[in-house]
Each structure stands twice: as structure tokens, then as C-alpha cells.
Structure 1
Amino acid sequence: MSDGPALRLDGVSKVYGRNGSAVRALDGVSVAIPRGSFTAVMGPSGSGKSTFLHCAAGLDRATSGTAWLGSTEVSGLSERRATELRRERVGFVFQAFNLVPALTVRHNVELPLRLAGRRIDRRRVDEVLARVGLLEKRDVRPAQLSGGQQQRVAVARALITRPDVIFGDEPTGALDTMTAKSVLELLRGIVGDGGQTVVMVTHDPVAASYADTVLFLADGRLVGELAEPTAERVADRMTRLGAWA
């Protein structure tokens, strides 16, 4: 692991389709995200938020420009190598919890290790489950948990491989306000206490206020950032972007 940024995009553009039907989802985005930071990515619908996350995480390949995860350029990797990189060095938390219903909490958390062919360290699994407050639920199945508990299992699963970056795509989008608050506090804690790097796409100014920095996208371009955000300042900036006009 190097001392540079956890994540870097240099002039990244992503075009879907071609010729007359081409859509430029990202347009020359450059940004460096420091290690041990919590970054929220916001913008109006269609601004390129999900494409930003997909290109940064190696889920999608940039049309031009380069994306780096630590010292590894992800934009030039083969599909097989990109898959290996995601398994080893990236964690994901989505709006849909994406847990395997037939597996217990413990086995859901162990899944990334099994997929990567890595040894299962039971103490590490217990430690991560304790971190998300679910150690006593390790032998139950997802259907026996609340939505908030299921999302905490998803966070534990994202943490288990000690990834360079955890990407959240609307991780609190399906949760009620109080439950969302507990998940956001958990994400804030793994950055503050654990030195983890979290990058979260959200449309919610309250969720964004838990981050250190908010990046704003509009029409595929990076149009601003806000340090030490509050929900009010984020909402004001989003209104000026025309997000809720």
C-alpha cells in the first residue's frame, strides 16, 4: 500500500453508445481522494454519480483518462484482473443489501474471502461482526433481521477483506431515518476509528453531512466540492445545481 491517495481519477470520460446516440456520462473528471477519508458524491439525476462509482471501482472501464486504486491503474486492467482486484481491494455496499438468503450472517460475511480463495479467519469474522454490532446474530439468516441489521451485515461483508476503499451506492436509500442514521454513524466510525476510506453516492443531504467532503457532479462534470458539510449547506448547493428545481 502506498502513501498516495486511496483513489484517483485523471481526466476520466465515459461515453455510452456511439455516433448519433452517444451519451457522455462522465466528462473529463479529475479528483484525488485521500486515504482514511469519507467522501460523498452528489448531483442531480443523470449527473454521472453511478458512472463515477463504477469507473472508480473498476466495475466499468473509462472511455478515456485513467482511474487508479492506490498505485494500481484500474482503467487498463483485463476483465479477469479487474475482477480479482475488486475481490481483494474493494468493498461494496448497495441500496439493496444483496445478502444470500440461504446463508447465515457469518457465512454471508465470509463470502468475499471464499470467492477470493482466501483462508477464513474466524476471529477476524467475529471482530468485524462485533464492529457492526451483530456478533450475537452470526448464526441467523437474513430474513430474521431488520433492514438496518441486514445493511450492517453488508457493511461487515465489505470490511472483511480489509479493502483499500469501500464504495457505497445509496447505502441508506431503502432505510427509514433512524435506521439510516445508525448505518451512517457506523460508516463514519469505520473511517474515524478504523482509518477506512469510504466513497458514497447519495441523493440525501443528511447522509452527505456525515462525510468529510462532498463532491458535486452535474452533466458528467465535477462542478464543486464542499468540506465539513452540513445538511443545510449541501441542500443549498444541490438546489443551485438545479437538482430539485
Structure 2
Amino acid sequence: MRTQTNSLRGQSSTGSPGFALRLDGVVKEYGKSGRGVRALDGVSVGIERGSFTAVMGPSGSGKSTFLHCAAGLDKPSSGKAFIGDTELGGMNETQLTKLRRERIGFVFQAFNLIPALSVRQNVELPLRLAGERLDPAWLEEILTRVGLGGRATHRPAELSGGQQQRVAIARALITRPDVIFGDEPTGALDTVTAKEILSLLRSCVDETGQTVVMVTHDPVAASYADTVLFLADGRIADRMHAPTADRVADRMTHLGAWA
């Protein structure tokens, strides 16, 4: 079993060496007390290193908030979030920025590439911003792995949508992060290209032991994961191991009524 959703409150506050990320009793409220919206309602989950997890749920279920709190983009109202053994709650914004740059990779629906930079320069950017030394051999390996070995000098406008998303994945991989977070990474792609990108993410897990957490609304995309977490009303309502697109679609159809 790769993803665990049992309560983890009894564990050490330093996290667990088996988990790439962990949420412990996380509550996130927006707005004033009594009138606010509780986007996450006591979520506890540990996601193991080297696993692929999809996060699904109806609109307003808390998927984006889950990603934001897990990735240190937003702070929980209560509870704790960890990347590896590092608790995010005690970090200031400068420390969080450094952690996100060095230990987290992001792949979004919008590719978020810089048009004036080449493929190589876009991929190198996280290391440049961090002031870290670039390993040319690692860069070439990453570009080859994502199928862009011959496109290093091209600019984003010269690439297809699928190729641009491959650049974004290479950029996410370059720092050897603890976790790659995907927020609807195939949402802007056609069906064939989406499958290529999902296969690439799957290979990052299977071949290099990367940890991927992907928010998606697409049952086919979720079927590439090891485990699907279903959110409803800010809580983990269910989980599914070895998912298929049909099983995921059926579960989503009944999620609201079940919850």
C-alpha cells in the first residue's frame, strides 16, 4: 500500500522517513470565523516516496487547497504539513520560497514557461534562481528523458503544447525534488498528447523513484496513479488503489451522495 490515510497524530513531529509529504489534522478556513468557508476539514494523510497519487473530488471539495497546503503555497489554519521530515508551519516566507525552489517541483495546466528563454534556459531556471551549480550531464539526461534532447535551443513558441509541458516537467525534475505536484497538468492538451504526458509522469515514478501528486478531474488521468484520494467537503472520503478509469468514474458519480 503506497498511500495511507489513517490518522498520523501519534507520530513524531519530525515526520516519517517513508513519507515524501504528510498532512496531520490539517484544517484550512477562508474568511472570518463563524462566516468563513472550511476548505479542508481535518485532513490527515501520508504519501510515500516513489508513489503516484491522484487527488479527485467534485468542485469545491478542497482539491486545490489540499495541493496548496501540501506544497507550502498556503498555510493551514491548524494542523501540520511536512515535506519529508520538514514541518512547513514554522517557516517564514523566505524559508518556504527556498524549500519550494529546491525540494518541490510544479507542473500546471498553463505551462508557465518564459517565452524569451530557450528550452534549456527554462529548465535551468530553478537552479539559476537558487544560485546553485548546474550539472550539465544531469541537464542533458533530463532533456533526453522527457524527449527534448534535440530541442534544447528552441523557444516555447516553436514547440507544441505537449512539448511545452515536457519542458515544464523537465524544469520540475532538475532540482531532484522530494515531490512533484501536478495541478491538472493535462487539462490543456488533446487526448493523445495527454496520454504521452501521463506516461512520462508514470515513468518518472517507475524508473527514477520520483513522487508525484496530481490534482485532476479526469478519470483516465487518475488511472495512471497508484492510488486515488477522493475529497468531498474538505475531507478524504475514500481512496482507491490500482485504479481504472471506469472504477474512478463510477466512484466520482456516487461521491456526493456517498459523502
TM-score normalised according to structure 2 size: 0.92
Alignment correspondent of 1:156: 170
Alignment correspondent of 2:133: 119
- Indicate if the aligned counterparts of 1:55 and 1:75 stay in contact, CA closer than 8 A: no
Per-residue CA distance 1:31-79 (angstroms, 9 max, x = gap): 0000000000000011000000000000100000000110000122111
1:105 to 95, 119, 139: 119
- Indicate if the aligned counterparts of 2:223 and 2:248 stay in contact, CA closer than 8 A: yes
- Indicate if the aligned counterparts of 2:17 and 2:85 stay in contact, CA closer than 8 A: no
Structure 1 residue runs of 5 or longer lacking an equivalent are none
1:177 aligns with 2:229: no
Alignment correspondent of 2:202: 188
1:55 aligns with 2:69: yes
Alignment correspondent of 2:224: 210
Q: Output the CA distance in 2 between the equivalents of 1:202 and 1:165.
A: 16
Alignment correspondent of 2:6: none
By how many angstroms is 1:123 displaced? 1.4
Q: Output the CA distance in 2 between the equivalents of 1:208 and 1:75.
A: 30
Matches within 5 A, 1:215-230: 215-230=229-244
Per-residue CA distance 1:139-180 (angstroms, 9 max, x = gap): 010000000000000000000000000000000000000000
TM-score normalised according to structure 1 size: 0.97
Alignment correspondent of 1:235: 249
RMSD over aligned Cα atoms: 1.2
Q: Secondary structure at the match of 1:137?
A: coil
1:128 to 142, 155, 164: 142
Alignment correspondent of 1:6: 20
Q: Output the CA distance in 2 between the equivalents of 1:10 and 1:232.
A: 31
- Indicate if the aligned counterparts of 2:232 and 2:256 stay in contact, CA closer than 8 A: no
- Percentage identity across paired residues of the two chains: 74
Q: Output the CA distance in 2 between the equivalents of 1:155 and 1:218.
A: 29
Runs of 4+ more than 4 Å apart = none
By how many angstroms is 1:20 displaced? 4.5
Q: Output the CA distance in 2 between the equivalents of 1:19 and 1:140.
A: 51
Q: Output the CA distance in 2 between the equivalents of 1:117 and 1:74.
A: 22
- Indicate if the aligned counterparts of 2:27 and 2:38 stay in contact, CA closer than 8 A: yes
Structure 2 residue runs of 5 or longer lacking an equivalent are 1-14
Q: Secondary structure at the match of 2:115?
A: coil
Give the paired residue count.
243
Q: Output the CA distance in 2 between the equivalents of 1:19 and 1:185.
A: 44
